[in-house]
Amino acid sequence: MIRAWLLVALASGGCSAAANLRMGSTSPSTGGGGPSASGAAVVPNVVLLPRGQAEAVLRSAGFTEPVNFDTSACGSTVDNKTVVELGQVCYQMPAAGREASLRLPVTLRVQHEDPWRGRSASGRAWFLMPDLAGMPLATARARLRALGFAKEPLISFVQEPGCRPNVVCRSSPEPMSRADTSSDKVLVVGQPPDPAQSPTPITAPTRAPTDSPPSSPPPPAKGPADIF
């Protein structure tokens, strides 16, 4: 009886209701498509975060798989702009902003070297060249000495638009590059004013020396008559 009734319902236009019943049993949730529904999430940006903080951010985004760590060298900077300090993340995969499966382990690379100084593969010592543009010349020299550059830099004075007197315009090697400690460093500095072209300072007029009064003749020598 029941089977016969179902056949009659299908024949009389109940197909759409049955189809809706079947679709409703497998349709995805309409609660926003979060990580629990889709199994994927947007990868957060953890570059320049300390290792522990980076792992915590990934877990809060839903990536609960253990993180893979790439042991390759980071270098000193990210995009030749920002120094990557010890313990900070310098690289991640997948990249930030991409959607990835929550079951995919994220790979991180962490800084394990001093980014400010070290030795090259040939054994030569290097320091990271700081950005000195805009510093007064004396401050720039002190900054280099503080970082370990014992050799005094060469100074090139120029007259260029934007270069202020006695202020560093640029340097060689370029900022954020690894500079050999034994090589010359050049600071391009705005030309100071020429003392010869400076206006003469206004001072109180000096009085011309006056002629000394004529000396009076010496008194006449006393003769014998003046004695008695």
Q: What is the CATH number of the domain that holds 68?
A: 3.30.10.20
In a domain, 11, yes or no: no
Residue 128: beta bridge partners? 178
CA 82, chain centre distance (Å): 3
| Nearest by Cα to 93 from 72, 124, 79 | 72
Are 103 and 159 found together in one domain?
Answer: no
In a domain, 211, yes or no: no
How far apart are alpha carbons 125 and 208 in whole angstroms?
A: 65
| Nearest by Cα to 48 from 89, 98, 92 | 89
Are 187 and 153 found together in one domain?
Answer: yes
Are 103 and 162 found together in one domain?
Answer: no
Strands 125-128 and 117-119: antiparallel
> Tokens representing 58?
């990934």
Please state whether the predicted TM-score (pTM) of the whole model is above 0.75: no
In a domain, 177, yes or no: yes
Instruction: List pLDDT tens digits, range 96-138.
Output: 999 999 999 999 999 999 999 999 888 889 999 999 999 999 9
In a domain, 31, yes or no: no
* Residue ranges of the chain with per-residue pLDDT less than 70: 1-38, 195-228
How far apart are alpha carbons 144 and 142 in whole angstroms?
A: 5
Last residue of a domain, one of 115, 139, 156: 115
Are 102 and 131 found together in one domain?
Answer: no
> Tokens representing 211?
């002629």
pLDDT at 212: 52
Are 104 and 131 found together in one domain?
Answer: no
If DSSP codes are grouped into helix, strand and coil, which group holds residue 144? Answer: helix
Residue 189 is part of which domain span?
125-194
- Phi-psi category of 157—alpha, beta or left, where left has phi over 0 and alpha has psi -120 to 50? beta
Are 108 and 141 found together in one domain?
Answer: no
Count of domains for the chain: 2
Is residue 188 a contact partner of residue 169, using CB atoms and an 8 Å limit? yes
pLDDT at 197: 46
pLDDT at 57: 97
Last residue of a domain, one of 115, 148, 172: 115
